[in-house]
Amino acid sequence: MILSFHPCFDGDIQIILGDRSLDAAILRRISKADAIILPQACPQKLYEACAGSGAHVFPNYDARIRYPGKIGQARMFRDQGLSHPKTLAWESVARFSQACADSRHIPPHEFPFLIKEDRRHEAEGIFFIENRAGLGLALDGLSLRETSGARGFVTQDYVSCGGNVLRGVVIGTRVLTYWKRPTQPGQRITTISRGAVIDPAWRPDLQERGAMAAALLSEKTGINLGAIDIVFPMSDKDPEPLFLEINYYFGRRGLGGTEAYYGMLYQAIQHWLTEAGIDPRSVRPV
């Protein structure tokens, strides 16, 4: 029996969870399922119940649960031996400030470097730190956020990439790549929401290298649905792909839009079921 919690795909049984809790009836359905399709914005309790049921589950969010936020992802990159810029985790502004005081007020990275809030996404909560004045302003902002309960951040070496960020989107066993490129001279933080240009054609050599790196990450971690951001130190003669972060809920413009994305996702689910030895014919787009 195929159980779907995804609003866009029907199965033998489809449940739109919404704001409902996991009651006894839903848990019985989960326990009887051979395969479970989850929504992209899957609550942790739902994922844990499904992953612990013995059923085949798509997407695989084990890494998302085990390595939460940017702090968790930095640890995952280290654990899996995946190349990434030097990244340090801080539980609070006070701990960062103490570390700087212990080293005679020298920041743990050379200027410029980045500060990224732990649980924010798509370039929100990212500070480009060029000097001590900028660092002070960023720490003031982080301190204010801490008063509302938003604690934790990472500091990260800035990679001189010219503002060009390669996105590798893993959908099942497939990896699609495109560049997010700056529109303004000197732009260093590049994201679609801030007007970056989507470019699927630039530097195909680096796209191929980035796709291979994303496929390796998928193989090591089990991630089969996620958008992986990668940068290259463009001043190097033979630049190596460096992982920045993973977004498990991501925009679709670079994939051709929502309809194209769901078509690829449907194909991935069909392939996943077939590989698991389960007849995929009961799964249909809604």
| Residue 117: CATH number of its domain | 3.30.1490.20
pLDDT of 122 > 70? The answer is: no
Residue 239 forms part of a structural domain: yes
Give me the mean pLDDT over the 118-142 stretch. Answer: 88
User: What pLDDT score was predicted for residue 191?
Assistant: 74
Tell me which of 198 and 190 has the higher pLDDT: 198
Residues 147 and 175 in one domain: no
User: Strand, coil or helix: what is 255?
Assistant: helix
User: What pLDDT score was predicted for residue 223?
Assistant: 98
User: What pLDDT score was predicted for residue 269?
Assistant: 98
Q: Where are the alpha helices (DSSP H) in the chain?
A: 24-32, 44-51, 62-66, 69-79, 93-102, 132-146, 204-221, 258-275
Residues 255 and 196 in one domain: yes
CA 193 from chain centre, in angstroms, equals: 16
User: What pLDDT score was predicted for residue 104?
Assistant: 61
User: What pLDDT score was predicted for residue 185?
Assistant: 76
Q: What is the Cα–Cα distance from 159 to 219, expressed in whole angstroms?
A: 25
Which domain range does residue 244 map to?
165-259
Residues 144 and 179 in one domain: no
Residue 220's nearest CA partner among 251, 240, 252, 243 is 243
- Residue for token digits 């460096």? 242
Q: Given 139, 157, 175, which residue is the final one in a domain?
A: 157
CA distances from 249 to 63, 116, 237 (A): 14, 18, 34
pLDDT of 101 > 80? The answer is: no
Residue 207 forms part of a structural domain: yes
Longest dimension (CA), the chain: 65
Residue 144 forms part of a structural domain: yes
Residues 152 and 192 in one domain: no
- Residue for token digits 């951001």? 229
Q: What is the Cα–Cα distance from 190 to 164, expressed in whole angstroms?
A: 7
Tell me which of 18 and 256 has the higher pLDDT: 256
* pLDDT, mean over the chain: 93
Residues 170 and 251 in one domain: yes
- Report the run of H or E that residue 177 belongs to, with start and end: strand 174-181
Residue 111 forms part of a structural domain: yes
- When pLDDT is cut at 50, 70 and 90, the band that residue 175 belongs to is very high
Whether pTM > 0.95 for this model: the answer is: no
Question: Where residue 225 sits, what CATH number does that domain have?
Answer: 3.30.470.20
Q: What is the Cα–Cα distance from 150 to 147, expressed in whole angstroms?
A: 7
Task: Give the pair of three-digit tokens for residue 199.
Answer: 């470019």
- When pLDDT is cut at 50, 70 and 90, the band that residue 150 belongs to is confident
Residues 9 and 19 in one domain: yes
